[in-house]
Structure 1
Amino acid sequence: MVDAATETVTVTDVDSLTETWERVRRRLRAELGEDVFSSWFGRLEIASYVDGVAYLTVPTRFLKSWLEAHYAERLRVNCMAELPGCNGVMLSVRQVARDASVAPRAEAVLRGRPAMAAAPAPAEPGKPAGSGAAPQAGEAEMVDACGATLDRRMSFQSFVVGKSNQLAFAAAERIAAAPAGQSPYNPLYLHAGVGLGKTHLLQAIAQEARNQGKRVAYFTADRFMYGFVAALKSQTALAFKEKLRGIDLLVVDDVQFIQGKSIQQEFGHTINALLDAGKQIVVAGDRLAGELEALDERIRSRLGGGLVVEVGELDETLRATILSSRLATLQNAHPNFQVSPDVVAYVSRVVATNGRDLDGAANRLLAHATLSGQLVTLETAEAAIRDLVRTREPRRVKIEDIQKLVATRYNVSRADILSERRTAAVVKPRQIAMYLSKALTPRSLPEIGRRFGGRDHTTVLHAVRKIEKAISEDRSLHEEVDLLKRMLQE
């Protein structure tokens, strides 16, 4: 257990933090230009700076999703440049005052600054189930055991199932329906890129389990961290821990963002205590648990020891179904808004990133139709969603995929590449795989070294430099490596 008295939490002085944040804003404005800055960063604020993490807030889920998808690295780099000791950035939506978790968070983490109220956020755009109806006035809120409000629109009934997510959906339904302590899959770890439906499935599990009378705690990574820091500062850490250990189901989203040694230790203790007691745990991250290098190794091992399911990328058929569902919802509110099947087919073909961008495309089509008073045609649709097509993210390349492809290409095994063997037939593919890992992934040299059998970062650097020199001198090797890059990115 973590002793609250020994926990160290560093919060920058409010006035100093405000001045520092203004410098970050000036850097962003200079890099991106006034138009982009005003559109996406004008309402971004800093709430606190704790344990080397800058906690930033925005008023809507859509804005949070967009910044995470398109500007996360730029935000991180600029905050690290201005905040001493900064090693990460956390984005969250500013909560409404009636959220029971806001008061302790604002009091403990924001150091007396008033909580910032915002209108109730809509369903997160682009989740493969955005067609559900919002709760009606007077309808009782669905709240978990720790006071978080669950979004009724993210239910199993509104989730759009396709080939890429049917296994994850089936596992989620089975866990939600299982009697307390009798789930066959524990823990369940879901992983996927941005906007593919992880949050929707986690919310659906939490809601269905709660409907069956189970005690459920649903956390995003930032809310878990806020809650723990607040409990430490208010000297209620023991009560916080005991409350978590008294639940039937723990659901944690975006686990990759849990930072801080003490917070990770407490998270690990909580997981162990719940699993040992036969309680269900469901966790989601943006990649395989073993690839979460910033997360404690014991946590990664626990998560990887259960059922691990990837929520795959949306194929064109599933994208068309999701887009049609979203458009149908908009048409209910705007009866004159009509979109032809040809436009739906076009948009679902070219907007191939994730569900959130599909939601953005639907909103752009609606805006064009209502503001211009014209019908939505293929030509107008192309103009309306041009920025979504232009900002498509490349396929996320994994080191494991690189190792497998290179091994197949050079007729060796992946185990050979990870081994200590130093024959020419193995060394060359290993060095090429290291070079591609550095070129195509955001991993650092030490991280790459660990993924290649625990090698030192200097070994990786030597391999990268050697292949760079070789491809500059050998045309055939240059073409061969380019081919591997294209195969990995397609």
Structure 2
Amino acid sequence: MSNADQDSWSRVKERLRAEVGDDVYSSWFARMDLEGIEDGGVRLSVPTRFLKSWIQSHYAERVLACWQAQQPEVGRIELIVRSAVLKPAAPVVKKAEPMPAAVSNGSGAYAGINGNGHGRVSTVGDPGMHDALGGSPLDPRLTFESFVVGRSNTLAHAAAKQVAIARRNDPVMFNPLYIHAGVGLGKTHLLQAITWAGNAAGERKVLYLTAEKFMYGFVSALRTQTALAFKEALRGIGVLVIDDLQFLQGKSTQAEFCHTLNALIDAGRQVIIASDRPPSDLESLDDRVRSRLAGGLVVEMGTLGEELRLEILKARVLAARAHHPSFDVPLPVLSYIAKTVTHNGRDLEGALNRLLAHNKLTGHPVTLEMAEREVRDLIRPQEPKRVKIEDIQRIVARQYNVSRSDLLSSRRTANVVRPRQVAMYLAKTLTLRSLPEIGRRFGGRDHTTVLHAVRKIEGLVGNDVALAEEIEILKRQLQE
């Protein structure tokens, strides 16, 4: 592919992100790659069949329109599933030999790299129910030993380690343990590390499933009339690990997940879940499921700071030397990448892979000049902090000396109404949430109530200097 094609792809992704919003983009498009452009067609790839099916059904025309805005000659989009070696399912996945790839996927540090399909491989097409009960394939590199701990992931790592070392009859401390973070920040790494450690100890059977695999297993069990056996087998698991919960779709599947979740927790079995957003933001899930998820320990893994990115890069270089002993990256180059490649761990992986490929294919040593040339498309503009409605409610409540429960209540006194209207106004202007969703998050109010609040504050800001200053102060606090 030419640099022009890559530049077009970068612009298409930015346009798509702007149109659908960060949440939708992260859920459905973050793992989409450009494979090639030829004869007026664009070939894109995704890691799983589920993603391919969902994007084709719901977003195909929008993706095509974004391409045509950049290259009018594009007439069609072809979506394929990236090839991946499917490993046979087994109650305990046996450790595989290390891959002799560049800086191989998941070989250290930060976690969840799956650009080539490893770690979250879909096994659609295998015998559904039995395959699901065997678990999703595990990447042998995603262990606690290869996870680099920093300020943004300390709590999540400690909670995961505590869950992994627990014995069969130990009291369950965090149930469910719910870990959420953006793309490429380590969720899958921790979940697979728990599974490896738990099964190695032999105390409890740990089953690792992606949400897609859970759905496919349940649907297959319904089709083959083995649903009861599937449910009983799931509820006999000692530790259930579910990855990418945001992809769980379908009312019957969600209902079964809810029943399984309740049965396991009530029986004192451990449940660990990962998603790209907190339980309250899983709008497609039933309220009962969200409530049960929020009732355990909810831990967010933050963005990777520069210091942590540098430690991850150092660990990756060491891992690469196991297969390429002569590979060397000077510290100034690692520092440059850590400083400039900031979006997520997968971009760090891509940067080192490029340096390694260039070094091996050309024989030239890695230099700062080479790094600047090879990773320039991975240097993304700094994105503004994503503001959450919970943060808005907390900061507004503190500013006006009321409680968050006051903002969500039906109270109509003046000292509560104005802060509530300000909070709704900020939710509309600083987040991508719709009016109905904002209303739901403010005590189940109608969207017309939110619209009235937004218009009310907009009208006042133009005439009330003090209120305008208050709102600017609140915005600064929320975006710091």
TM score, norm. by length of structure 2: 0.73
Change (3 A) 1:252 1:438: same
Partner of 1:395: 385
Shift of 1:459: 1.0
1:429-481 deviation line (CA, Å, top 9, x unaligned): 32232222223323222221111122111111222233344456667766654
1-structure distance, mates of 2:403, 2:270: 37
Partner of 1:460: 450
Contact 1:181 1:280 in 2 (8 A): no
Shift of 1:487: 3.9
Structure 2: unaligned runs, 5 residues or longer: 1-11, 17-32, 67-78, 91-100, 120-130
Q: Which amino acid aligns with 1:199?
A: T
Pick which of 155-164 and 350-359 moved more: 350-359
Contact 1:217 1:249 in 2 (8 A): yes
Shift of 1:219: 0.8
The question of 1:207 aligning with 2:189 is answered no
Contact 2:156 2:179 in 1 (8 A): yes
Identity %: 55
Shift of 1:281: 0.9
1:303-357 deviation line (CA, Å, top 9, x unaligned): 2222222222222221111111112223443444322222222221232322222
Q: 1:186 aligned to 175, 179, 199, which one?
A: 175
Change (3 A) 1:122 1:232: farther
Change (3 A) 1:158 1:452: same
The question of 1:261 aligning with 2:251 is answered yes
2-structure distance, mates of 1:126, 1:465: 51
The question of 1:349 aligning with 2:339 is answered yes
The question of 1:196 aligning with 2:190 is answered no
Q: 1:153 aligned to 141, 144, 160, which one?
A: 141
SS in 2 for 1:42: strand
2-structure distance, mates of 1:473, 1:74: 43
2-structure distance, mates of 1:428, 1:378: 55
Contact 2:48 2:82 in 1 (8 A): no
The question of 1:416 aligning with 2:406 is answered yes
Shift of 1:267: 0.4
1-structure distance, mates of 2:398, 2:154: 29
Pick which of 416-425 and 259-268 moved more: 416-425
SS in 1 for 2:272: strand
Contact 2:133 2:207 in 1 (8 A): yes
1-structure distance, mates of 2:50, 2:140: 32
1-structure distance, mates of 2:415, 2:81: 49
1:402-449 deviation line (CA, Å, top 9, x unaligned): 222233344443333223343444333322322222233232222211
2-structure distance, mates of 1:314, 1:284: 18
Pick which of 334-343 and 263-272 moved more: 334-343
Change (3 A) 1:475 1:373: farther
Partner of 1:218: 208
Equivalent residues in 2 for 1:72-471, closer than 5 Å: 96=85, 98-100=87-89, 123-124=105-106, 128=110, 146-182=134-170, 183-213=172-202, 214-370=204-360, 373-390=363-380, 392-471=382-461
Contact 2:108 2:146 in 1 (8 A): no
Change (3 A) 1:330 1:124: closer
Pick which of 229-238 and 150-159 moved more: 229-238
Contact 1:191 1:311 in 2 (8 A): yes
Shift of 1:210: 1.1
Contact 2:107 2:146 in 1 (8 A): no
Partner of 2:98: none
Shift of 1:94: 5.6
Contact 2:36 2:43 in 1 (8 A): yes
2-structure distance, mates of 1:283, 1:472: 46
SS in 2 for 1:333: coil
SS in 1 for 2:178: strand
Q: Which amino acid aligns with 1:218?
A: Y
Change (3 A) 1:130 1:451: closer
Q: Which amino acid aligns with 1:328?
A: L
2-structure distance, mates of 1:479, 1:176: 50
Change (3 A) 1:204 1:340: same
1:264-285 deviation line (CA, Å, top 9, x unaligned): 1000111112122221111112
Q: Which amino acid aligns with 1:128?
A: Y
1:142-197 deviation line (CA, Å, top 9, x unaligned): x9952432211111111111222222222212211111242322221112222111
1-structure distance, mates of 2:179, 2:264: 18
Aligned residues: 408
SS in 2 for 1:44: strand
Structure 1: unaligned runs, 5 residues or longer: 1-27, 58-72, 82-89, 102-118, 136-142
Contact 1:471 1:478 in 2 (8 A): yes
1-structure distance, mates of 2:35, 2:465: 46
Contact 1:126 1:358 in 2 (8 A): no
Equivalent residues in 2 for 1:39-50, closer than 5 Å: 39=36, 42-44=43-45
SS in 2 for 1:353: coil
Shift of 1:125: 8.4
Shift of 1:220: 0.8
Change (3 A) 1:42 1:410: same
TM score, norm. by length of structure 1: 0.72
Contact 2:46 2:81 in 1 (8 A): no
Change (3 A) 1:482 1:96: same
1-structure distance, mates of 2:427, 2:107: 32
SS in 2 for 1:308: strand
Cα RMSD for the two superposed structures: 3.9
Contact 1:189 1:309 in 2 (8 A): yes
